[in-house]
Structure 1
């Protein structure tokens, strides 16, 4: 196989796999010069997932590494010894200066169309962030035919069939012109994956003041507006903001019916929301759009755009013990040969990669590093909650963000849901609706086949608990909540 000049660039660096685990524990890898590449390359060679590019002098040479996931020597003693050094390194890098929030004009300048569609002020007297958009299209036009979400969601396509049948009845007439009510979500459930966001979403649906879109996770702010759908597909045609707004037309029509006097309910209190669990953490599309930067940190984050268009948005975050979250995340994805031993090896590989990055870069840079994230066999960085939360707190006030623990949600569903309703300022439920809400079966639970795999290995649990300790301590300190230490789990 040909060698590749070190200056040649590689696109779509992806899931990378495996290092031979040394018996002494973690092995420092030079992250700045070690790349694991899958498939998508540009240049003189093409590597498969078991090959590693190692920098030697002026060239990169491919080296085939074994990909066995057998964990014959699963003992946490040596690993935890090295882990304590890594934890100390993490702790030394956790105290950093908050990111510099980009100027509003720079945020607007990156997506002028978005900010030309959404006005800077919303209708007064209505709780939801809504506005009127002049409707100058022929009434016979099928407005939803070109919506890209209809190609990926049968349920939304069905809703569109309903919306188009009486669309003209929901238009607002004034001064000889027609206007269409448009709305953004009043609140966003932004993360994290495998922390109960699906269950919360479906229970909130039962409140009469909450009028949802038909898609829990549009992933528009983080992915689809860039045309980033699935990593393996590369970039496709982007989803314009108009397509995203269509998702909330059902809620907008309910509100418009109230304004027009066609509904007996209090339209002023109706709200809608969405629950894309990628919104809190996923800013990977920026890396592909802007290329590598010195610190590999995205110049803009999803929250910069949400805050600029909607500074009063309500943000809900659901978290769980990051150790359990990672194992649940691993089990969720449909891959062959899943096992507790395979999970343990993937954890070791991921921790090695993260440690190698930390030797070269800042903590925040490693958490946001797209190449590193794609290289790790398990999504270790998603459990570093405090890094993402601190960035959300640079643009949104603390009072606008509600942080929940899945453990509290499971132990006291009624009390936690009430806390969410109070946060959203919606009215109390009737006894009948409350009973329906609390008795509803849990959503998105673990599959039977995954349950049969049993729990993670004690060695994995010990290692991950040690790794996440500094992140949890910082999170508990910032939010003044010792339960976020997850020390009793």
Structure 2
């Protein structure tokens, strides 16, 4: 059985889905399916592959032609235990981290939480205001497996998370991608990343948009679909084989751009993340002052 030798550790809503998808198509790279087993974040009640047996099963049958074997659990960067847990088993592992302006990231993350049925407050401003009481276990959605995922400021404080990461991982084992760079010149980032992973250039020139902003047409239908999936998992039922729920799930999805945040709230977020953005800039030797400018 192959062993993972690299990890895309986050952050969420920073382009990890696209990067993992591109890597999965490279003949010398293997990415787990699902891409986010979340095995090593033992401090978060999140993920379906917590047992060693289930996790190992994800790497069965990897081709001998594959030299880079990895997974892409985006909450590892946020987790306090994931990186130490990984290093205890795979001390030579390489890490890929993707970073984004937290003001953009946090709004996108809330939308994803709503889409995934982890968040039951559709207004981001209202959900932001609930962080304090949720930290005390109040007003947490029943369908959310881990309330810490709804602590939006902590989840998007990338400066703090990156500083902690550097205290644990040798920079030579770390590849950092800024979302803006990946979006503006994906080929340049791609070629540099392949060099980091020590795999040959596959000649990729097409980098399609993946995981665009999306919403649900019906949250009731989404809940029914989630309950059906949970019931199948609980009783070990393989399904009816009709594909009906998969078709309903696709029908229930609509791609739509996010509405701009009110200017006052946008400015509030920039003030909230100001010190963290400055810290991240210092750690990465990057001028990020434009992240603090109002739209």
TM-score bin (small chain) = 0.7 to 0.9
* Backbone CA RMSD of aligned residues: 3.0
Match of 1:317 in 2: 97
Distance 1:485 1:305, change over 3 A: farther
Distance 1:414 1:458, change over 3 A: same
- Residue 272 of structure 1 aligns to a residue whose secondary structure is strand
Distance 1:415 1:227, change over 3 A: closer
Match of 1:419 in 2: 192
Match of 1:8 in 2: none
CA contact (8 A) 2:6 2:94 kept: yes
Query: Does residue 263 of structure 2 align to residue 458 of structure 1?
Result: yes
1:322-471 matches, within 5 Å, as: 322-332=102-112, 333-334=114-115, 338=122, 342-350=123-131, 374=147, 379-430=152-203, 434-435=204-205, 438-439=206-207, 441-447=208-214, 451=256, 454-471=259-276
Query: Does residue 288 of structure 2 align to residue 477 of structure 1?
Result: no
- Residue 98 of structure 2 aligns to a residue whose secondary structure is strand
Pairwise CA distance, 1:459: 1.4
Q: How far apart, CA to CA, are the structure 2 residues paired with 1:397 and 1:424?
A: 15
Pairwise CA distance, 1:211: 2.2
CA contact (8 A) 1:199 1:444 kept: yes
Match of 1:127 in 2: none
CA contact (8 A) 1:330 1:378 kept: no
Q: How far apart, CA to CA, are the structure 1 residues paired with 2:290 and 2:280?
A: 8
Pairwise CA distance, 1:464: 0.5
Distance 1:388 1:337, change over 3 A: closer
CA contact (8 A) 1:325 1:383 kept: yes
Match of 2:28 in 1: 209
Distance 1:459 1:377, change over 3 A: farther
CA contact (8 A) 2:149 2:155 kept: no
Distance 1:376 1:424, change over 3 A: closer
CA contact (8 A) 1:346 1:378 kept: no
Distance 1:405 1:329, change over 3 A: same
- Residue 482 of structure 1 aligns to a residue whose secondary structure is coil
Distance 1:227 1:454, change over 3 A: closer
- Structure 2, unmatched stretches of 5+, are 137-145, 216-253
Pairwise CA distance, 1:348: 3.8
Match of 2:240 in 1: none
Q: List per-residue Cα deviations over 1:246-269 (Å, max 9, x = no partner).
A: 211122xx22xxxxxxxxxxx4x6
- How many corresponding residue pairs? 243
Query: Does residue 14 of structure 2 align to residue 241 of structure 1?
Result: no
Match of 2:218 in 1: none
> TM-score, normalization: structure 2?
0.73
Q: How far apart, CA to CA, are the structure 2 residues paired with 1:458 and 1:199?
A: 30
Pairwise CA distance, 1:471: 0.5
- Residue 160 of structure 2 aligns to a residue whose secondary structure is helix
- Structure 1, unmatched stretches of 5+, are 1-181, 231-235, 256-266, 284-300, 358-372
CA contact (8 A) 1:192 1:280 kept: yes
1:199 corresponds, among 1, 18, 21, to 18
Pairwise CA distance, 1:281: 1.1
Pairwise CA distance, 1:381: 0.7
Q: List per-residue Cα deviations over 1:14-61 (Å, max 9, x = no partner).
A: xxxxxxxxxxxxxxxxxxxxxxxxxxxxxxxxxxxxxxxxxxxxxxxx
Q: Which of the pair has more CA radius of gyration?
A: 1
1:51-450 matches, within 5 Å, as: 182-223=1-42, 228-229=45-46, 239-251=50-62, 254-255=63-64, 267=65, 270-283=67-80, 301-332=81-112, 333-334=114-115, 338=122, 342-350=123-131, 374=147, 379-430=152-203, 434-435=204-205, 438-439=206-207, 441-447=208-214
CA contact (8 A) 1:314 1:401 kept: yes
Q: How far apart, CA to CA, are the structure 2 residues paired with 1:452 and 1:402?
A: 30
> TM-score, normalization: structure 1?
0.45
